[in-house]
Structure 1
């Protein structure tokens, strides 16, 4: 049988076709537009996502026996606010995860409602990217649109709804809304009341590997697929990517270095997190801790594309030789879009510090790579406060394809990085969840044990790790020193 995995990203949707034994037969990608109507705002049209997914599925399944397609599972960008009216029409463009307009609402939730109450209601505090602050923003700034709301959903769930007609979400994605009581896996009545919404507006909750419906007849006809194709609840992108790297079971770790960067640690039980860390449900039915930085590999892309204007990323790293590692005098703060974990500060900004007359192009490139690793280390330090001891982590995402960046990460974090054989992010995790839902495997753990293989590892060097430890202790002083200045910028 075939299983389709959908990775609904911020710039494009990536779809893959997987066989029951985990082999990827084909991958297609379809791009869509991203809109910035005001500084700090970030929006997309849900209709564009749907058009891209339908086009991609048609291309993906061209030339195969379509009767063998058994299920579709999606991993998607989290936190985005999608609102539909009583006629199932999109009311306004989706407000995305990286949108920064809700600082006033976030402050209201954290300071007026209070962090302790938020933790008791949801297990987490408010972040500007979460869905609940977006709802409050819409209530205050677009009351006419707010009054039309009949359904509230997340980006991937809009796709599933259009495919199946079932308004559903999974616990991992719902965890990032600040509307879910994560520990008890139910909608928080208190948070719904605070936001002025009702439970009948919310999607029905499922585990990520649950079947939520099948293809609507009109969708089956358009796609040329059987109506029996099962739609699976799926997962938030980070949880789906963790499934795709086998990060299931207590204490397993995955570091994803994409547009954003995440440190993801699976847990058998729910943990109340420190202020800058998330504690969410996992796609395997358990829980996870996560630190998410908003700009990770995108920092290097920005520096390469916009500043030194080159597309040859590997060439720019050639001059960063082993003798330079741990000895750079330049520091870079990776806050191009503000920061989530662990600072929860939309006002902080990127900067270079420590440049002198002999600072080179390579020094600045190295500082960018190191700054992102230091940023992930910040989250790791917060999670260590819970008694979690990480010795090894899977490494995925486009940035981790760089051997140099992997070496920097291994030594900055002083842990061993393992490299998965198949690294296709949330799409692969979505396909695995579909295979589990359709009975191909007995559980998510069973599927990961059989499908996920490691091709190599990068171990820290004790001497280099010691050099980076000293540099990290300097790095961690920079944000507090500059915090008061950032809002003035």
Structure 2
């Protein structure tokens, strides 16, 4: 038996095959492009997701035909919040509006005004990244498209529809729409009504470990699969990644340094903190929730600087690590795409402060790395305010390849960070585990275990005071800059 995980990311689709013991058998990738038609807009063509899925699985079939033929379960992971609009003929109405699109800030305020109990029901602040305010934006600015809406699907759930013919989502991904009663794990009529929709416009809901349908016959023939595999509910990208990294027990968490940054912790109960812009969502496994602090530009900040100065990001981090002795004069605010946690400000912007004639690419890179570490610390602060403690923390994402970056974060959080052995334990791997569980009925916590750890990054006690001082300055800058921008 083998199991397939598909992760519908922003920059690409990843397919991972595992065996019945959870061992990786193979993987394939297909790139995706992003459209930014106006400042603050971020869109993709849903048909491109499907073409990328076909390309990735076709690639796996070419390299591992016997393992693909033996697939018994498929799991799905994907970028959250994307609004994929289908008409009554199941045709895509317009490009999908993505998680990092901030056009609907005004609609967020309208939602909260229209339903004062919104935060209590949803467990989250209305943010432009979420799905519901995007629909209000479409209603206001594209009424002809709004009137055609028959179904609203999240990115991975549109792929599910093409895989199975079913309209289904899972609890963790649905929690990011702002239409879910997160504590009770069901669609909220009151939240839907604010956007003029009903449950008829929504997919049905299953837990991430439960079956949602079976692979269509024509796809089974295409990939040489004799018996149609079950397709699991799956999960939003971070919840699926948590299943891949073993962060399913209360208090277990991970820090992700990808395009965006995430501090994730699993909870045994629903624990919102809307004042701190904490994301409080359902987990991909039953009777479990999770919290996240999310900021939108982690490695994206370093990639931005890399393009600006004409040096590779890896070379910049290596130069900083060569003689790092703590914070310098330069401070960087990583709000290049606005911000979620803790400010919930789509209009926030990045900034360098403390530049001098001595500032260069290396010192600016150091400030960027530190700024991202302070953004993670901000996330920890508001999670602590919600009464949440993190017992163990594992690093994932491309930025975790830098020991110095992880050391900065460990020092600021005051806790060690574990680094897994080489391997991909992200969304696609977690999705494959969910596919295994749905197909076999295995205990989720017996399957979603922690990987072997290659090393542990400890905090630098000798730099703690310097980082504390710099973090205080970092926190003060946001308010001062926003006040100046408002004048």
- TM-score (normalizing by structure 1): 0.95
CA distance in 2, matches of 1:373, 1:122: 29
Assess if the C-alpha contact under 8 Å between 1:72 and 1:229 holds in 2: yes
Give how far 1:324 is off: 3.6
CA distance in 2, matches of 1:52, 1:458: 36
Residue number in structure 2 paired with 1:209: 209
Assess if the C-alpha contact under 8 Å between 1:167 and 1:203 holds in 2: yes
Assess if the C-alpha contact under 8 Å between 1:136 and 1:195 holds in 2: yes
Residue number in structure 2 paired with 1:480: 479
SS of 1:320 mapped into structure 2: helix
Assess if the C-alpha contact under 8 Å between 1:274 and 1:383 holds in 2: no
SS of 2:140 mapped into structure 1: helix
Residue number in structure 2 paired with 1:102: 104
CA distance in 2, matches of 1:319, 1:257: 19
Residue number in structure 2 paired with 1:428: 429
CA distance in 1, matches of 2:74, 2:217: 15
CA distance in 1, matches of 2:321, 2:160: 48
CA distance in 2, matches of 1:301, 1:165: 39
Residue number in structure 2 paired with 1:346: 346
Any residues of structure 2 matched to 1:44-83 within 5 Å, and which? 44-62=44-62, 63-65=64-66, 66-83=68-85
Assess if the C-alpha contact under 8 Å between 1:347 and 1:486 holds in 2: no
- Pick from 90, 93, 102 the counterpart of residue 91 of structure 1: 93
Distance 1:487 1:32, change over 3 A: farther
Deviations 1:111-144 (A, max 9, x none): 4533xx1122212120011001001111111111
Give how far 1:461 is off: 2.1
Aligned: 1:256 with 2:256: yes
Residue number in structure 1 paired with 2:292: 290
CA distance in 1, matches of 2:315, 2:347: 33
Assess if the C-alpha contact under 8 Å between 2:125 and 2:274 holds in 1: no
CA distance in 1, matches of 2:302, 2:130: 25
Distance 1:487 1:106, change over 3 A: farther
Aligned: 1:446 with 2:446: yes
CA distance in 1, matches of 2:145, 2:319: 54
- TM-score (normalizing by structure 2): 0.96
SS of 1:319 mapped into structure 2: helix
Aligned: 1:392 with 2:392: yes
Distance 1:160 1:201, change over 3 A: same
Give the superposed CA RMSD: 1.6
Assess if the C-alpha contact under 8 Å between 1:349 and 1:486 holds in 2: no
Residue number in structure 2 paired with 1:414: 414
Residue number in structure 2 paired with 1:333: 333
CA distance in 2, matches of 1:322, 1:472: 23
Assess if the C-alpha contact under 8 Å between 2:157 and 2:168 holds in 1: yes
SS of 1:379 mapped into structure 2: helix
CA distance in 1, matches of 2:220, 2:182: 34
Residue number in structure 1 paired with 2:39: 39
Residue number in structure 2 paired with 1:383: 383
CA distance in 1, matches of 2:45, 2:139: 20
Assess if the C-alpha contact under 8 Å between 2:259 and 2:298 holds in 1: yes
Residue number in structure 2 paired with 1:464: 463
Residue number in structure 2 paired with 1:299: 301
Query: After alignment, is 350-359 or 95-104 more displaced?
Result: 350-359
Number of equivalent positions: 482
Give how far 1:176 is off: 0.4
Residue number in structure 1 paired with 2:18: 18
Residue number in structure 1 paired with 2:196: 196
Residue number in structure 2 paired with 1:246: 246
Assess if the C-alpha contact under 8 Å between 1:214 and 1:227 holds in 2: no
Give how far 1:181 is off: 0.1
Distance 1:309 1:322, change over 3 A: closer
CA distance in 1, matches of 2:475, 2:226: 55
CA distance in 2, matches of 1:321, 1:97: 33
SS of 1:124 mapped into structure 2: coil
CA distance in 2, matches of 1:487, 1:404: 36
CA distance in 2, matches of 1:292, 1:316: 24
Give how far 1:39 is off: 1.4
Residue number in structure 1 paired with 2:151: 151
Give how far 1:198 is off: 1.3
